Structure 1
Amino acid sequence: MNVLLVDDEPLELEQMEYMIKTTFPLWKFHKAADACQALTINQNHKINLAFLDINLPGRSGLEFAEELRTINKEVDIIMVTAYQSFDYARQSIRIGVVDYLTKPVIESDLQKVLAKYKDTQSSNDYSSLIYQALLFIHDNFTEKLTLSDIAREVHTNPTYLSRKFHEEVGMPFSEYIIHYRIQAAKRFLMNNPTWNISDVAENSGFNSQHYFSTLFRKIEGITPKEYREKGK
């Protein structure tokens, strides 16, 4: 399942991705800050589900939704807005939008919208081997994981798994685990304000706070503490 998230607020994009990933960890997410970027993404990927902020720079989310519906007739579109407006709702219905969320998006409301997609969390995007490997990583990312551990779990040899993983996921196994742990850390930083950075590191699968902080800054461009402050 390819999911398009469009919002000109980076933090809104990240939070939406986190909330959806809680239920659908294997969905593929594509993020854009405006309609122009979103259109390019749709040209390069078959988008199945799109969450569009109405108030975008340039073309509005509603204008882009109408264009997207013309180009991609199979996409499900969900509008997101900070304003409760009958006119917005009426335009959304006319375009064929499947649902409508208001900001700040409450996770329980989002999960209700996503309930109809439960059956799409399958191995369709990956081979059975890589699907099982990903599930094992997601269930055990806090533990020390090696390629040999996962190969043993999915009953194949490490060399073959390494090649297939890179082919299907688009990055090496070791890089995927680091990024998955960093994404988990970002959720922990936002959702657990009483945890110190060491707690976040440990619960994200890093055995060293210093190593975690160094990687976090390299990938995100800011320190874990700065990321937490930014989200307040």
Structure 2
Amino acid sequence: MQILIVDDEYLEIDQLCHLINKRYSAWTVFRSEDIANSIQIASSHTLDLAILDIALSGESGLDLADELLNIHPSMSILIVSAYQNFKFAKRALQMRAIDYIVKPVIESEFYASIDKIANKNQSHPSYLSSILKEAIHYIDLNFRENIHLNDVAEYVHVTPNYLSKKFQNELHVSYKEYLIKARINAAKKLLLECPDYSIQMIANQVGFYSQNHFTNSFKKYEAQTPTQFKNEERGYHA
């Protein structure tokens, strides 16, 4: 994997590099202390992950994240910041950052976030066909939108019927089931990280345009309602 660490304090970069090399010594790490150099690196290399500070010598790491995602839409973002600010965390989550870590960095917390990326990078088994991997990649990027089997099939240049059989034969689920599960997984993250969001708001953000459809689908796959899931995971019991 190739990752970019951006912080205007070189000692902070040193610490993060040390932690990454300790566990993932085969990863390639690029360092940068400003936005312009970061964009230059991203334009010249394929990046899987960017670890960004928010305050970059008067510039915004969140704005940089937007720029980087325009270059590499499938890359992951991890925010590491001294700011314990809900507005910053909310915006980071909206751009699909995998986590928001508050400095000083705690080693176990950092590894918990980084391991998500390592696992995600290995999440599509090698036995899957290249067509299905491309289809999954498209769904993972666009499940929040009103996408259909025809859209995905067009993206991977096959017929909808052929792609439907690929899902059944290789993953043993239908296209629709895979899409719903992707949306539910994203909803579970929002339920825990944004407790002030209403169920309707979460449903809309992950691609369900009906709260009833969201609740019924969630209950089908998780055996509980979204509210029950949130209360249970956060330790609230009625």
TM-score, structure 1 as length reference: 0.50
Root-mean-square deviation (CA, aligned residues, Å) is 2.6
CA–CA distance in structure 1, aligned partners of residues 229 and 123 of structure 2: 30
Q: Give a deviation string over 1:101-127, Cα, whole Å, max 9, x none.
A: xxxx95522244577778756762311
CA–CA distance in structure 2, aligned partners of residues 208 and 198 of structure 1: 8
SS in 1 for 2:158: coil
Match of 1:165 among 164, 167, 176: 167
1:213 CA drift (Å): 1.0
CA pair 199-147 structure 1, distance change in 2 beyond 3 A: same
Gapped regions of structure 1 (runs ≥ 5):
1-104
1:199 CA drift (Å): 1.0
SS in 2 for 1:151: helix
Aligned to 1:200: 202
Which amino acid in structure 1 is aligned with residue 153 of structure 2? Answer: A
SS in 1 for 2:169: helix
Does residue 182 of the first structure (1) align with residue 191 of the second (2)? no
Q: Give a deviation string over 1:15-61, Cα, whole Å, max 9, x none.
A: xxxxxxxxxxxxxxxxxxxxxxxxxxxxxxxxxxxxxxxxxxxxxxx
CA–CA distance in structure 2, aligned partners of residues 230 and 185 of structure 1: 15
CA–CA distance in structure 2, aligned partners of residues 204 and 116 of structure 1: 23
Does residue 150 of the first structure (1) align with residue 132 of the second (2)? no
Which amino acid in structure 2 is aligned with residue 146 of structure 1? Answer: H
CA–CA distance in structure 2, aligned partners of residues 175 and 117 of structure 1: 22
TM-score, structure 2 as length reference: 0.49
Which amino acid in structure 1 is aligned with residue 112 of structure 2? Answer: L
1:175 CA drift (Å): 1.0
Aligned to 1:136: 138
1:218 CA drift (Å): 2.3
SS in 2 for 1:124: coil
Does residue 224 of the first structure (1) align with residue 233 of the second (2)? no
1:128 CA drift (Å): 0.6
Which amino acid in structure 1 is aligned with residue 176 of structure 2? Answer: S
1:219 CA drift (Å): 2.1
1:206 CA drift (Å): 0.1
SS in 1 for 2:126: helix
SS in 1 for 2:204: helix
SS in 2 for 1:125: coil
Number of positions where the alignment pairs a residue of Structure 1 with one of Structure 2 = 129
Q: Give a deviation string over 1:145-175, Cα, whole Å, max 9, x none.
A: 1111100001111111111121111101111
Gapped regions of structure 2 (runs ≥ 5):
1-106
SS in 2 for 1:194: coil
Does residue 126 of the first structure (1) align with residue 135 of the second (2)? no
1:215 CA drift (Å): 1.6
If asked which structure has higher relative contact order (CA below 8 Å, sep 6+), I would say 1
Q: Which segments of structure 1 move beyond 3 Å, counting only runs of 4 or more?
A: 111-123
Q: What is the percent sequence identity of the aligned residues?
A: 34
Matches within 5 A, 1:17-32: none
